[in-house]
Amino acid sequence: MSLPPRKTPSFTVSEGKQFFKCFGCGKGGNVFKFLMYQDHLTFPESVKKAAELAHLQMPEGYGEAAKPLSPLKKMYRQATEFYQHILLTTKVGERALEYARKRELTDDLLKHFKVGYAPDDDKILLTYLQQKKEYTDNDLRESGLFIESQDGQLFDRFRDRLMFPLGDESGYTVGFSGRRISNDKTIAKYMNSPETKIFNKSKLLFHFAEAKKAARSEKHLILYEGYMDVIAAYKAGIQSGVASMGTSLTTEQVYMLRRITPNILVNYDGDPPGIHAAERATKLFGQVQGFNLGIIVLPENLDPDEYVKNMEKKSTVQKLQVLLVQQIFYLKD
């Protein structure tokens, strides 16, 4: 629960004791407690946030990184590396690599976003992981990387797809979004990992771990609808982009953003559905105190990916900077 707003002076801070007290609600404590209450953080998250505010470098391995990886996170890390190896270095991946380059995904972009390729083979990842002899059958079944047949056999869930890793708040891969590269329209264009012990897409934002670092210098985060928009923006020099991965924005995601910065720009598609989604997002942001919210409205019904492709890097960045200075366009109820 956040600290309540007050119209009378009922909140004090002792600089000498490094202690706060809210007489309105009775809460008190040190700086970490304050951040935990105000920004809905866990204790490790509050320590990281305090370090960011003080411009201090956290010791290597603090928090998440200090814990041994769970079997599922280790499996997803190995799957990410395996898929990327196939895409960038094998003959099997050449067709997918050609497809990626036609989409203007350079090798640098593919490496930064850890994009890979799942071949049209129903057991290639399964065999690779089984050969490591590090996982139980139950680990494999619970991972979401495989589909189980009626007779109990496992098969790779993702086949003939460009693979985009989906990371948690610490940057560990916990799921995938696979993009069809064939012209077979009977197959779904996109396929996402199912919900697992480590993956709930309503509580994650694409590129969040990387974008929150960029937010320190860029002083804002930009919210997009899809991961291709984030990648296009990154290519244009905008590193503070995140996306809700094709789902409607959730309250959990709003609080994730608030923990990093109050300055949020919503850059959804310029078509009617995109505008409607921006209106809905604005209402969600309005339920949480402290946001400076801006809306970037793109011309001609373009989505951010298309818009960036139509502009040079310099002009794109300058346009966003101008919009920031002018407070952009604020949606009203």
Q: Is the pLDDT of residue 240 over 60?
A: yes
CATH 3.90.580.10 positions along the chain are: 11-65
> Which CATH superfamily is 11-65 part of?
Zinc finger, CHC2-typedomain (3.90.580.10)
Taking Cα atoms as reference points, which of 228, 263, 267 lies closest to residue 245?
Answer: 228
In angstroms, the CA 165 to CA 106 distance is 17
Cα Rg of the chain (Å, integer)? 22
Residue 267 has phi, psi (to 5 degrees) of -125, 75
CA distances (Å), 95 to each of 108, 118, 190, in order?
Answer: 18, 12, 18
Q: Please provide the CATH number assigned to the domain covering 208-325.
A: 3.40.1360.10
pLDDT tens readout for residues 135-159: 999 999 999 999 999 999 999 999 9
In angstroms, the CA 22 to CA 3 distance is 8
CATH 3.90.980.10 positions along the chain are: 71-199
pLDDT score recorded for residue 324: 43
Q: Is the pLDDT of residue 290 over 90?
A: no
pLDDT score recorded for residue 330: 42
pLDDT tens readout for residues 3-16: 555 555 677 887 76
CA distances (Å), 100 to each of 81, 109, 162, 163, 308, in order?
Answer: 17, 10, 8, 11, 17
Q: Is the pLDDT of residue 89 over 70?
A: yes
Beta strands 28-29 and 11-14, pairing class: unpaired
Amino acid at 309: K
* Range 219-245 average pLDDT: 91
Query: The pTM is what?
Result: 0.76
- Ranges of beta strands (E only) in 198-324 are 221-224, 241-243, 263-266, 292-295
Q: Is the pLDDT of residue 327 over 50?
A: no
The domain 71-199 having CATH identifier 3.40.1010.10: the answer here is no
pLDDT score recorded for residue 320: 52
